[in-house]
Chain A
Amino acid sequence: MKKLSLFLVALTISSTSFCDIIVTKKNKGLFGYRYVSETVAEGTHTLSCNDPGFSSCKSELGSYNVDGELVLSHEEFSVIDETVNESIDEGNSNGKFVYDDKCLVVYSYSESNDQLTYRVYSISEAQENNLL
């Protein structure tokens, strides 16, 4: 019974330990953001940008690298970011698309909170998690 419980816990943890990039933008000011925080840990690269200020919402690390599974240059990341913005501008407040056969992007925008979140998965990760 204990072994079964342990197996279930391990299964739950492994099924939620995605390898991905998560970007959150909220309450941007007229000239950018006040707070830009970035963490890279346990398979996830997180970028959070909040409140009015003068900073851009981008990584300071030069590229986006998630355990070598998913590597995106600044230019590739900019294209993904623009594509997300264009899709939302066209009226799709949430959706997903595959970028360059390299990764899956899943995005969601809440107008009431003025909050945009998107996650970028490697293709294999997306397939493993039935997102594709």
Chain B
Amino acid sequence: MTLIKRWMLFMFICMFASNSYAWIKIEKANKGLFGYKYVNEDHTSGSHMLACAEPGWNGCNWDNPPTFDDGNFLDLDDYLEIESEVESKIESGVSSGDFLFETIYVEFTYDQDLDRLVMKLYSKDEARELGLL
């Protein structure tokens, strides 16, 4: 293998490795008066996503609450506390931002026109590695 090919392979592995961090993402959009029609949960490569959309009858809840790769665990009360903090910030006029909840770094953004809320959670160490903290 030529030097240039080895270099390209190395760069490719570096690029892939730098994208393989873990997070928990929660996305809510266009909720109905009584809940959501679609609640989708996905757990792939250490990352976890919960997406809830359209008017229906379901709560926006995990069936399998995720944990971070480093073992950091969030129970239902933690989620509720994080959600409550995000909601109170948005209600006070802050449509996007971040904060630390114990050992969890939380990013959030709300688009009123789309009525779409996205929250992304990282472990504190992960956030540091990614330069978010």
Hey, which bits of chain A sit against chain B, CB under 8 A?
25, 28-31, 34, 52-54, 85, 88-89, 109, 111, 114, 116
Contacts and interface: CB of A to CB of B under 8 A. Distances in A.
Given A29-B112, A30-B110, A31-B90, A111 B28 contact: no
B115 A29 contact: yes
Interface of B: 28, 31-34, 55-57, 87, 90-91, 110, 112-113, 115, 117
Interface centre among B55, B56, B57, B90 (most CB of A within 10 A): B55
Nearest to A25: B33
A44 B28 CA distance: 36
B33 A109 contact: yes
A59 to B, nearest CB: 19
B34 A30 contact: no
A116 B55 CA distance: 12
B69 to A, nearest CB: 30
Contacts of A34: 112
Main SS of the interface on chain A? mixed
A53 B33 contact: no
Contact of B112 (A28, A53, A85): A53
B91 A54 contact: yes
B33 A52 contact: no
B32 A30 contact: no
B56 A52 contact: no
Contacts of B28: 30
A108 B117 CA distance: 29
A31 B91 contact: yes
B33 A28 contact: yes
Contacts of B55: 111, 114
A30 B33 contact: no
B112 A52 contact: yes
24 contacts: A28-B31, A28-B33, A29-B31, A29-B112, A30-B28, A30-B31, A30-B110, A30-B115, A31-B90, A31-B91, A31-B110, A52-B112, A52-B115, A53-B112, A54-B91, A85-B33, A89-B34, A109-B33, A111-B32, A111-B55, A114-B32, A114-B33, A114-B55, A116-B33
A89 B59 CA distance: 11
